[in-house]
Amino acid sequence: MLTREFLLKADCKTSFGDIEETLLWSCEQRAASLAATLACRPDHSPVWIFGYGSLMWNPIFEADEIAAGWLEGWHRAFCLRLIAGRGTATHPGRMLALKQGGRTSGLAFRLPEARLHEELALLWKREMITGCYLPTWCELQLDDGRSVTALTFIMDPRHPLYESDSCPEAIAPLIAAASGPLGSNAQYLFSLEEELTRRGMEEENLSRLAHQVRSLQQSHCLKQA
């Protein structure tokens, strides 16, 4: 599992797998992206992060508050070709991102202002290795009735790793087979399904995808037996 200690020490060129040089972002590029994002900070209110994938069960950054909520206008989609971490360039998997349309439930994390830059720099190292996301300030509705502005990582459809076809039939075989230095692509999907279920946020499409991946893996095991 990805840990804070691992991420602090990680060399992005090698720690997540072999990433094509033209795709890999430099430290300077990540720093510039973070600075540009903070320059667009809507106001001086606390900075919240919206977690809709692995941030929900393994955020690794420090937060002063965690609250359930939802984002209107975006939905989960495994539309990012996964070539590192839990996949490789030769056997790519699929990673989660947000695409336009629908609604997404998740967790909002309020970051401590005193450690804001430190925590965000760590987050950028985790999410922006190839610059595949568009860090965007979005309005979140929290379950307790509050409305907050949160930083959300949305898929950049112009990125070379973007995949338009994210239907279960296309991506289930990829997720079932892919793995990398951080583990298997399937385990990521199963962990997400488990976390959503635990929090009463089940999504029918995601559960169906997880079922298909399990069936493919069981079929493969039977063939190997």
Instruction: Provide the CATH number for the domain around residue 72.
Output: 3.10.490.10
188 domain residue, yes or no = no
**Identity of the residue numbered 109:** F
Cα separation of 196 and 202, whole Å?
5
Query: Token digits for 113?
Result: 């202002």
pTM across the whole model:
0.94
Domain that holds residue 138: 4-164
Helix (H) or strand (E) holding 140: strand 133-142
Per-residue pLDDT for 83 more than 90? yes
Q: Which sign does the torsion angle of CA 23, 27, 29, 35 carry?
A: positive
213 domain residue, yes or no = no
Per-residue pLDDT for 223 more than 80? no
Per-residue pLDDT for 145 more than 90? yes
Q: 27-39 and 116-127 are packed helices; what angle lies between their axes, rounded to 10 degrees?
A: 120
208 domain residue, yes or no = no
Instruction: Determine the average pLDDT of the residues in 115-135.
Output: 97
CA distances, 222 to each of 175, 183, 216 (Å): 18, 22, 10
Give the number of other Cβ atoms within 10 Å of residue 127's Cβ.
Answer: 18
184 domain residue, yes or no = no
For residues 4 and 60, the answer to whether their CB atoms sit within 8 Å is yes
192 domain residue, yes or no = no
pLDDT of residue 1: 75
Per-residue pLDDT for 113 more than 80? yes
Per-residue pLDDT for 132 more than 70? yes
214 domain residue, yes or no = no
DSSP annotation of 113 reads G
By annotation, the residues acting in catalysis are: 127
221 — pLDDT class (breaks 50, 70, 90): confident
Per-residue pLDDT for 17 more than 90? yes
114 domain residue, yes or no = yes
200 domain residue, yes or no = no
Please state the domain count of the chain.
Answer: 1
3 — pLDDT class (breaks 50, 70, 90): very high
For residues 132 and 159, the answer to whether their CB atoms sit within 8 Å is yes
Query: Token digits for 64?
Result: 């002063």
Per-residue pLDDT for 194 more than 70? yes
For residues 178 and 87, the answer to whether their CB atoms sit within 8 Å is yes
Mean pLDDT value across the chain:
95
Cα separation of 28 and 100, whole Å?
29
43 — pLDDT class (breaks 50, 70, 90): confident
Give the number of other Cβ atoms within 10 Å of residue 115's Cβ.
Answer: 13
- Which residues does 125 contact at the CB level (< 8 Å), separation at least 6? 7, 10, 12, 30
Instruction: Determine the average pLDDT of the residues in 43-54.
Output: 94
pLDDT of residue 44: 82
Strand partners, 154: 134
pLDDT of residue 225: 62
